[in-house]
Structure 1
Amino acid sequence: MKISGVDIRPGNIIEYEGGIWKAVKIQHTQPGKGGAYMQVEMKNLRDGRKNNVRFRSAETVERVRLDTKDFQFLFADGDALTFMDKETYEQTTLQRDLLGDAAAFLQDGMDVVMELYDEDPISVQLPDTIEAMIVEADAVVKGQTASSSYKPAILDNGVRVMVPPHIGSGTRIVVDTATAEYVRRAD
């Protein structure tokens, strides 16, 4: 489906110069002289390259619809991650760098949504939050106020997060997978 260059929104997947790109940030600019344009920061979904492109309102781009399928994460073998299609039970192996920092949050048996373009995996969406155990947390410094002071902690998957002072080692917490931020204490 063709859309105008100024109608691109963050999260849109577009076809540009033979590649599949995801719009990350946009900025609409109206200079005093000349026509308005949309400055779009894009990320290539195949190789991870980033690009900044200006689109004028007269330009059109092809908006791409991705197929989504439910998969289950099975195991990691070095940089290879193995997933299973929940309908056909076929296994697919992807490289860890396709997921970026989110790969650290994968847990055995986790349900994920894989986005496919022409049956080719483009990205993997993890659940919004996961539960993890804190294995190491700094001690509370006396005199700190609880309102805005957070301390560093390391989770069982090796990810470093900032947690409130009352959270210690051995505590299970809920973590946002997109931002790697503490959400709340797990029930």
Structure 2
Amino acid sequence: MASTNDLKNGLVLDMGNGLWQVMEFQHVKPGKGPAFVRTKLKNVTSGKIVDKTFNAGTKVETATVDRSDMQYLYHDGTDYIFMDTKTYEQIPVSPAVMGTVPDYLLENAEAMIAQHDGQVLYVELPPSVVLHIAQTDPGLQGDRSTGGTKPATLETGAEIHVPLFLETGTKVKVDTRDGSYLGRVN
């Protein structure tokens, strides 16, 4: 149990209708009336984001979420298998929990796994990863109909848009949050 004065970004609340992570919060003390806390909450299972206002000093139920760095081992056909790098314990993660993470996930890659009561809530990759371009068509000089970009398939199978000068086999840095091209890596 915590007070709304204890809210901080990343804290997970148990609201009765699911687990909600605090994305943003703001203490407001209007000139007239009682103080309140305006928050932006994200449902950890569905990803839905809502705005919620609490009266200042209200008690809220917090959830214990264990975050641990794990290494991705392999995909066994139904689940993705991760290993805790400290205890060597392996845990399966269902494709429903993974979301778009497999688009940027290679074997032996590090990921942060959040668990609550033994249930995996979400998998979080680093903000950017380095991947090879598996296939892309040659860019044509003067082709600017697509804003100077072309589609490219990464080694994981994901498709992103890259500048025209990049070729198959090039290493690129990709933003794991939105799948955007960040730059070429030598």
Give me the whole-angstrom Cα distance separating, in 2, the residues matched to 1:126 and 1:49: 16
Residue 50 (structure 2) pairs with residue 52 (structure 1): yes
Give me the whole-angstrom Cα distance separating, in 1, the residues matched to 2:180 and 2:26: 26
Q: In structure 2, what is the equivalent of residue 76 of structure 1? A: 75
Q: Which amino acid aligns with 2:75?
A: A
Q: In structure 2, what is the equivalent of residue 162 of structure 1? A: 161
Give me the whole-angstrom Cα distance separating, in 1, the residues matched to 2:22 and 2:135: 37
SS of equivalent residue, structure 1 residue 166: coil
Q: Which amino acid aligns with 2:21?
A: K
Residue 10 (structure 2) pairs with residue 4 (structure 1): no
5 Å-filtered alignment, 1:7-18, equals 11-17=10-16
In 2 relative to 1, CA 24–160 (structure 1 residues): closer, same or farther, beyond 3 Å? Answer: farther
Q: Runs of 5+ in structure 2 lacking a partner?
A: none
Listed one character per residue, the Cα deviations across residues 35-75 of structure 1 (whole Å, up to 9, x for unaligned) are 877363522x3x42636353232444234452222221110
SS of equivalent residue, structure 1 residue 151: strand
Q: In structure 2, what is the equivalent of residue 153 of structure 1? A: 152
5 Å-filtered alignment, 1:1-187, equals 1-4=1-4, 11-17=10-16, 19-24=18-23, 38=38, 40-43=40-43, 45=44, 47-48=45-46, 50=48, 52=50, 54-58=52-56, 59-144=58-143, 149-187=148-186
SS of equivalent residue, structure 1 residue 133: strand
Conserved? CA contact 1:27–1:40, under 8 Å: no
Give me the whole-angstrom Cα distance separating, in 2, the residues matched to 1:23 and 1:141: 47
SS of equivalent residue, structure 1 residue 158: coil
Worse-superposed segment, 132-141 or 77-86: 132-141
Report the CA distance between 1:9 and its aligned residue.
6.0
In 2 relative to 1, CA 174–107 (structure 1 residues): closer, same or farther, beyond 3 Å? Answer: same
Aligned-pair identity in percent equals 27
Give me the whole-angstrom Cα distance separating, in 2, the residues matched to 1:86 and 1:171: 30
Give me the whole-angstrom Cα distance separating, in 2, the residues matched to 1:26 and 1:185: 36
SS of equivalent residue, structure 2 residue 156: coil
Q: Runs of 5+ in structure 1 lacking a partner?
A: none
Q: Which amino acid aligns with 1:57?
A: N
Would you say how many aligned residue pairs link Structure 1 and Structure 2? 182
Give me the whole-angstrom Cα distance separating, in 2, the residues matched to 1:181 and 1:49: 20
What is the CA RMSD across the aligned residues, in angstroms? 3.2
> TM-score, normalized by length of structure 1?
0.76
SS of equivalent residue, structure 2 residue 100: helix
> TM-score, normalized by length of structure 2?
0.77
Conserved? CA contact 1:29–1:39, under 8 Å: no
